[in-house]
A and B are shown apart, each in its own frame.
Chain A
């Protein structure tokens, strides 16, 4: 059986993680969300443990931010910045694609 791509999502607000999971389930049913992180530090360690194909990172998170985590992960995964606030999208977009959700 063909396996779909795997993903990690990182957001400090559980409501937004849930919203993102729902959106992804609708837009990309084959995508398998295998890890959820509550901050940048968790995102990095979960990435190292599970090696997902794609990381959805909230820009603003306590401790290590999404941008910091992205610098850590580098080119080992596709990075997508996620933010509910427009001004962060501008700040993060040179590092990768960003979607406002």
Chain B
């Protein structure tokens, strides 16, 4: 565990060390002048904090058999008698006996050393424990945050999906056309309306489900293409080539529709002479490969890039398949676009 040494943490440590240095000084000051005792305990406390902090950062790498917390605790434990000796040597007046020959000073030395060794390593241990707890709490909060972020994104994707299903671009155009035909009293109005109803019949049952099957998705796409063919009979041709063993494959709703709608909107519709759309659903080992190929105006002609539909689709594929699904969009020769979806084919059944 390596956490950065923040300023607040530094002040906290200092405060604890000072409090612990003052307490024994006040409790056992008989035989000392209070000020000299305070000076000594506070020095000990500060040295303990310094040693603790030093071994927290240094050395950068430790051998495997030596845990950093052990180094810190032992370091603090060893620093206490060393510091006490230093204090006593330095405070010996010139010409006086060494402190160990002075009975009173020796008693004070032993008392201080004893207190230092008793208090400091335990305090260091307690500090380490608290740091670890704080770290765990911090981790837990970070996990919570990450989870709620993921939940929010899943909800976002779901809402966008609902929107795409309920209000795709072509639906309003088609309704406007039905209206125009009905206003003009055209006998084609009911035909177009019937086709629209067929599309909605395929689309609506999927609204409540987080996943659909490739078979149902193909029905939806076929209803959509029939509808669009009715609107541009001379400009849109299409064909589906489907490996029937794959229709039970589970997939996110409107996965295929997004690709086909894109091909119509950005490929066929902007083209004067129109083109054709071929949908291939094939098995390749344990993968399912879906290709939507159009002969429309191609990439970069409409100035809209690939549309928001594709980036939303990528997001949904990520949510459903993790990294196991791939979407590639490439230019076709001599013109047009191929959108290729590569999915795992094992999630079959039910």
Task: Report Cα–Cα, A18/B181, bound state, in Å.
Answer: 8
A5 at the interface (CB under 8 A from B): no
CB of A48, distance to nearest CB on chain B (Å) = 17
CA distance A46 to B233 in the complex (A): 21
B286 within 8 A of A: no
A14-48 interface code vs B (CB 8 A; 1 in, 0 out): 11101111110010000000000011010000000
> What distance in Å separates the Cβ of A44 from its nearest Cβ neighbour in chain B?
12
In the bound complex, what is the Cα–Cα distance between A46 and B294 (angstroms)? 30
Q: With the chains together, A23 CA to B180 CA distance in Å?
A: 9
How many residues on B have C-beta within 8 angstroms of the other chain's C-beta atoms?
A: 24
- Asked if A15 contacts B231 (CB within 8 A), the reply is yes
**Which residues of the partner chain A approach B183 to less than 8 Å between Cβ atoms?**
19, 23, 101
Q: How far is the CA of A62 from the CA of B266 in the complex (A)?
A: 11
| Listed stretches B120-128, B210-218, B267-275; interface member | B267-275
Per-position binary interface string of chain B over residues 227-262, scored 1 when its CB falls under 8 Å from any chain A CB and 0 otherwise: 000111111000000000000000000000000000
Q: Is the CB of A62 within 8 A of B188?
A: no
| Shortest distance from the beta carbon of A38 to any chain B beta carbon, whole Å | 7
Which of B179, B184, B271, B272 has a CB less than 8 Å from the CB of A20? Answer: B184
B272 touching A39, Cβ below 8 Å: yes
Q: Which residues of A contact B230 (CB under 8 A)?
A: 15
Which residues of B have CB within 8 Å of A41? 272
Contact B184 A19 (CB under 8 A): yes
B188 touches A85 (CB 8 A): no
Interface of A is mostly: helix
- Give the A-B pair count, Cβ closer than 8 A: 63
B-facing mask of A56-81, CB < 8 A → 1, else 0?
Answer: 00000011000000000000000000
Q: Are B232 and A16 in contact (CB under 8 A)?
A: no
Shortest Cβ gap from B172 to chain A (Å): 8
Chain B residues whose C-beta falls within 8 Å of the C-beta of A63 in the assembled complex: 270-272
Q: A19-B183, A19-B184, A22-B184 are in contact. Are A13 and B272 (CB under 8 A)?
A: no
The answer, yes or no, to whether B192 is at the interface (CB within 8 Å) is yes
Min CB gap A50→B, angstroms? 20
Q: How many angstroms from the CA of A84 to the CA of B184 in the assembled complex?
A: 13
B148 interface residue (CB < 8 Å to A):
no
**Chain B residues whose C-beta falls within 8 Å of the C-beta of A101 in the assembled complex:** 180, 183-184
User: Could you tell me if B186 and A19 are in contact, using CB atoms closer than 8 angstroms?
Assistant: yes
A51 to B37 Cα, complex, angstroms: 114
A84 contacts B234, C-beta separation under 8 Å = no
Q: In the bound complex, what is the Cα–Cα distance between A75 and B270 (angstroms)? A: 27
**Can you spell out 17 A-B residue pairs with CB atoms less than 8 angstroms apart?**
A13-B177, A15-B181, A15-B188, A16-B181, A18-B181, A19-B177, A19-B183, A19-B184, A20-B184, A23-B184, A38-B234, A39-B272, A63-B272, A84-B177, A85-B172, A85-B173, A101-B183
Known: A15-B177, A84-B173, A85-B173. 5 other contacts (CB 8 A): A14-B233, A18-B184, A19-B180, A39-B272, A85-B172
